Structure 1
Amino acid sequence: MSAEPTENGTNIKRIRKKRKNFLANAKKYAKKGQMGRGARMSDDLYQYFVGILDAMKQGVEDEEERVALVNNVLERTKGEELNVVGNQLGCRVIELLLPFASAEDLERFMDILSPELRRLCSDNFSSHVVETLLRVSCCRAVENLQNVDPEEDVPIKKKKKSKTDSKYSEEHIQKCYDFTIKICKYALNNLEDFVWDNYANHILRSAIKCLSGITLLPGEKPKTNMFKETVKDDKGIPPHLMTMEYKVVPDEFKEIVKDFANRLSSWPQFKDLPYQNLTSALLQVLLYAVKNVDSSITKDLVKKLLNESFAPDDWVSNESDEKKNDEKVDADMKEDVNESVAITATPLPPVFENQSAVRLLEAALFVARKKMYTQIYAKCFINRLGQLATVPMLNFTVQRLIDNCQVKEEFEPMFDELCGKFSALLFCGNSGVLVAIAKACLRIRARQTQFIASLESALNISEDGKHFSVCCLRLLPKEKIDLTTLDKEYFIHVHGSVILQTILQFQRPAKAVNSLLELSSDELMVILADAKGSHVADAFCSSTCVGVKARDKLIWKLKGFYQKLALSQYGSRAFERIFEAASDEQKVKIMSELSDKSSLLNSTSYGKLIANKLDLATFKLSQKKWEQARLKKSVVEK
């Protein structure tokens, strides 16, 4: 369960839907005598796979044990590969193990599955194995290109020697290369059938991603394997990111991507593809792919989508439905928001009536260049931003529009259109738009003072800047906050924390800085010991626009609280940032405070970590030796 804030600032518990446990279900099927869904597996092999899945879930930390496990399991599948990949449990295990398969085992699966591609690509279980096999083979095929200058890149077939060391032989790399080309061309040749198939459509997407070198799509989380040591800290691409990372791929791969784009864009029903979930998702991947392949094709695709699908010249709005929705929005707004921020209803282009099309529009905004971006803004968004930003489904599109704006002359009209709607955005809960605006103000270096003024007005603290930081962190107007309980734990909004951090990096962050420094030490502790509030210390200590005197004052205000800060989970990370920003003299004073009760510091894992990082034991023995050790360490790091 997790807590969510209500309109009056109190927290309510939201019950999360319990996730299905695949392993528990597999064991349950086995007890009933049902060896999973899909193709039939022998009882012994099914029970063996259940045990393997259980062992993988527990974690296999030793690399040799992991290699042995993978080899043994794949060895057991010899002669039954098609039955295994067609079974729900078997397909899951093979999908998890293929990335670690030896060259021999991977090639065996390539040879056995290739003749059955037509059937396997449309199967609800084996299609996942085909998809994984494609990703693994492509990864191995281009592995030796990743440290090569893209301008000097040549196809693998023409390369006599790998430019980087690889644990796979040239013969295996060549076979992986050939298999990748084979699967992708097979998918291209069957494009008309695969586009409409629920499972084959995913193979099309994987093929396009592999060919174009896409690592992760915007907002996509990396697939984590069940082996514990293979789970990465990377949590995916964060919001408000405007760049993507691509692998280096051969020119032959890029040519096939162009074929995919040309074939799809020439379809008579192309203009209808954005309005279905399956085809919209495919077009999104295609847009991200061609961005790395050919800028002219990207421009043609986006232009075709804009003029034929998103906002054709002859579109007609459904005025009756819009009128009902607008009346409902206005009625809700007038209950709690001043009439001056009422939303003016305007007809919306067809793209905003369908969620699948909206997501494709966001992808188009991401890949569009300046001129194309301006056309999208003019045809779909201009004079409609206030209305779109207050709609639950569409406010994310407004965020992506602002995120991808790079020109001051375009951003300023957007800001002017939205600055009077801050109260409405807070009321309807679409505070992500405020985050996007704040980040754009920082990135483009425009309208920063106006943003702070508009936010103050929305939070009703224009005359009293003392509580700016607290109201911003909670994203609640001043009258809804009990100001007498600021030294006790309270809910901090994640968007409020990000907005405050961004404001601290503005060119003139005086109001945010002063409001933080006017808080008492206990009130600061509540913020810095919070999961979301602790990041405020990062911005405060790293911002070039926050003065040295302000940082000194913050360090002085926390005197006597550093040990308490270091003992907590999130306070300890805030403590590290503050300690790094402190002068040498201040660091000695902080260390003296910690050393007074060092045994208490070692009572929690976080405090112990801080004590070890700062070498508190050495400081207690000799301050001079500690200073010399710190100096030597800083020289080595430089």
Structure 2
Amino acid sequence: MDNSNDNNTSAPNRKRKRGKSVLRNARKYLKKGVCGRGRQLETDTYQYLVRILEVYKEGFPSDEEKSIFVNNVFQESEDNEVLYSSNQLGSRVIQMLLPHANDEALERCIKAFLSDLRPICSDRFASHVLQTLFELLCKKTFQPDIDEDFKNRCVDYTLQVSRFLLNNLEDFASDTYGCHIIRTVFKSLANLPSDKEKNVTVEENNVIEIPEKYVQIMKEYAQRLIIWPQFVNLPYSELTSGLLQVLLKALQKIDKKQLDAYIKKLINESFGGVTEDDDTNKNQENKLPDVFMSKPALMLLEVVLEVASPKRYTQIYANYFLNNLVNLAVTRNTNFCVQKLVQHCKEKTEFEAIFDELDDHFKEILGAEHTGVILSLGQACKRLTAKQGSFVQNLMKSFNCYEPEEHQNSIVMCACRFVYYEELSQQTAVDLQKGKLNLHGTLIIQLMLEFNKPIKIVNSILSIDTVELKNLFSNSMGSHIIDSYMKSQFVGEKSREKLIRKLQGTYQDLASTKYGSRSFEAIWNAANLKNKMNIMTELSHKDAAWSNSEFGRIIASKINLSMYKKSVERWKDSLNAVSKKKALFSDILGENVK
């Protein structure tokens, strides 16, 4: 087993590279005398756009200067908005500037686009600008603190574009660019979080009321689509599957009755029965339904599981997953569906049936490196308070550390490193602090610490060599394990104290590193006064070795090391005052909750 399926590439790095490549390519085209792709621009105009991109990438001293720059660009572009948007570079520049444009500039742009919508909706570059523009204008209609007249005009613009696309739904649903605009319409009208708003919760978005005009037009879209003769085939095309996915999420907010009608129709007509002659299934004991043979249909099925009512969820489980779970869990393309099924299971008895079907197959699933399936099972065990003991036992068996009993103490390191018990002894020289651990493995350990009876995991952690334990808690992933250990209501006070005492002698090392300092804080916040005194005794000895490091200085400030060195009594009084203050606020918050 290895951790090859984990991807640590950071999104910010990818974005920076893409931004640089756009500018680099624009300059390259300019040197060749080619003014980008799409509609051809005059060389001077293309040069002007390149310069705008360069200035924007350099940044601005203030938001005010950025705003002045952006609005000047839109003034210079007046009457040419569609032309520029139909060019690859122009489309990129306008999309980049639109979120910072004033209301006047936004209105000029949408009026220019409304004058000739049809070709724009199918244009490979201008269509992206229309998406951004529509999203911005629609968002403004949900904002309470903008000019009422402008807001009403934004509603009109939003409805004009929505109505045009609805009237031409058959044409644009199968058009690559038009279909994406319709998806943006669905997201915007239903006020669903955009791709850039990953941290916005469904609850936060549901607080905002959807205008009746938006509700009505969304219902019209839904009514039109569901009666299409070709509806049965829509899940199997990448374009129309994506369209249905967004529509179902919008209907979840706007019209649950219509949502149920869609799910019923998909189950009865689209997702199909069993495929008898597919090559994928030749060696499988159980043939799989058609829906599992198509990636677009699979992605739609995942969304259906998210939004389905309990009744429909049970129907989907019985029709497509029952007696197929093992095959689906070990197959690359379908294991994500199993994860969704488990994540959205709300009935304890239903989950127990799912778990029992996968019970003896943890090792196969982990062997296929589908660790997400095991993680989702663990999350459901915690959420529904079910099958927790069986989960821990099965995980130990999977890593060959269940029998003999003394091998059970190796479960934490086996899961974190994602290796069998036999391989663990061969990795003693691996630097845990800097080494790459398995993300899902460390998350599963955190989950099991929050089970009702986490004693086996607690014993496993306490049995780890002190230096190795320090290195584990100094690892970017391993540092989160200590959070669960210290905060879990099911880890006893004595077990917490044992770990604090076990780590004595390592606190200077922990406090001086980036992730070790995170672990140190978790320990410090859970420690009682006696343990804190012991920790301070250790830290104050030759403190310059750790407290002058980047992260050591932060920890030294938080634990008030300078006061401790001057007067231990004053430091104690200060600590007691903070504890009383926290207790007071805790009581007040508790009363408010009641």
TM-score, normalised to structure 2, is: 0.90
Residue 265 of structure 2 corresponds to residue 291 of structure 1: no
Of 437-446 and 573-582, deviating more is 573-582
Which has the larger helix fraction?
Answer: 2
Residue 229 of structure 2 corresponds to residue 268 of structure 1: yes
The offset of 1:60, in angstroms, is: 3.5
Residue 140 of structure 2 corresponds to residue 140 of structure 1: yes
Contact 2:79–2:112 (CA<8 Å) still a contact in 1? Answer: no
Write the distance in 2 (CA, Å) between the matches of 1:615 and 1:74.
54
Tell me which of 424, 431, 445 is aligned to 2:371.
Answer: 431
Partner of 1:79: 79
Tell me which of 166, 175, 178 is aligned to 1:197.
Answer: 175
The offset of 1:441, in angstroms, is: 0.4
1:123-180 Cα offsets, whole Å, 9 max, x none, are 1111111111111011111112xxxxxxxxxxxxxxxxxxxxx2x3222111112111
Write the distance in 1 (CA, Å) between the matches of 2:439 and 2:427.
22
Partner of 1:338: none
Change over 3 Å in CA distance of 1:92–1:470 after alignment to 2: same
The offset of 1:620, in angstroms, is: 3.3
Residue 445 of structure 2 corresponds to residue 500 of structure 1: yes
The offset of 1:598, in angstroms, is: 3.9
Write the distance in 2 (CA, Å) between the matches of 1:572 and 1:612.
12
What are the equivalent positions in structure 2 for 1:563-582 lying under 5 Å apart?
A: 563-582=508-527
Write the distance in 1 (CA, Å) between the matches of 2:53 and 2:35.
15
Tell me which of 314, 326, 331 is aligned to 1:374.
Answer: 314
Partner of 2:588: none
Letter in 2 for 1:207: V
Tell me which of 171, 196, 215 is aligned to 1:222.
Answer: 196
Change over 3 Å in CA distance of 1:457–1:445 after alignment to 2: same
The offset of 1:589, in angstroms, is: 3.1
1:217-272 Cα offsets, whole Å, 9 max, x none, are xxxx427xxxxxxxxxx6788xxxx9884443212211211111111111010010
What are the equivalent positions in structure 2 for 1:55-454 lying under 5 Å apart?
A: 55-60=55-60, 62-144=62-144, 166=145, 168-216=146-194, 221-222=195-196, 245-246=205-206, 247-311=208-272, 315-319=273-277, 321-326=279-284, 345-454=285-394
What are the equivalent positions in structure 2 for 1:445-484 lying under 5 Å apart?
A: 445-462=385-402, 463=404, 464-482=407-425
Letter in 1 for 2:401: I
Of 355-364 and 549-558, deviating more is 549-558
Change over 3 Å in CA distance of 1:58–1:504 after alignment to 2: farther
TM-score, normalised to structure 1, is: 0.84
Residue 509 of structure 2 corresponds to residue 531 of structure 1: no
Contact 1:469–1:515 (CA<8 Å) still a contact in 2? Answer: yes
SS in 2 for 1:78: coil
Letter in 2 for 1:70: V
Write the distance in 1 (CA, Å) between the matches of 2:288 and 2:242.
22
Partner of 2:591: none
Change over 3 Å in CA distance of 1:546–1:319 after alignment to 2: same
Change over 3 Å in CA distance of 1:61–1:519 after alignment to 2: farther
Write the distance in 2 (CA, Å) between the matches of 1:320 and 1:104.
58
Tell me which of 485, 499, 517 is aligned to 2:428.
Answer: 485
Partner of 1:159: none
SS in 2 for 1:120: helix
Change over 3 Å in CA distance of 1:377–1:46 after alignment to 2: same
Tell me which of 463, 484, 494 is aligned to 1:549.
Answer: 494
Change over 3 Å in CA distance of 1:143–1:481 after alignment to 2: same
Letter in 1 for 2:523: I
Partner of 1:340: none
Write the distance in 1 (CA, Å) between the matches of 2:558 and 2:326.
49
Q: Give the paired residue count.
A: 571
Write the distance in 2 (CA, Å) between the matches of 1:23 and 1:580.
48
The offset of 1:584, in angstroms, is: 2.7
Contact 1:486–1:523 (CA<8 Å) still a contact in 2? Answer: no
Write the distance in 2 (CA, Å) between the matches of 1:118 and 1:600.
69
Structure 1: state its 5+ residue gaps. 145-165, 224-233, 327-344
Contact 2:122–2:177 (CA<8 Å) still a contact in 1? Answer: yes
The offset of 1:628, in angstroms, is: 4.6
Letter in 1 for 2:379: K
The offset of 1:625, in angstroms, is: 4.2
The offset of 1:493, in angstroms, is: 0.7
Letter in 1 for 2:196: P
Tell me which of 460, 467, 487 is aligned to 1:515.
Answer: 460
Of 71-80 and 560-569, deviating more is 71-80
Partner of 1:586: 531
Letter in 1 for 2:431: K
Write the distance in 2 (CA, Å) between the matches of 1:177 and 1:613.
51
Contact 1:38–1:88 (CA<8 Å) still a contact in 2? Answer: yes
Contact 1:322–1:347 (CA<8 Å) still a contact in 2? Answer: no
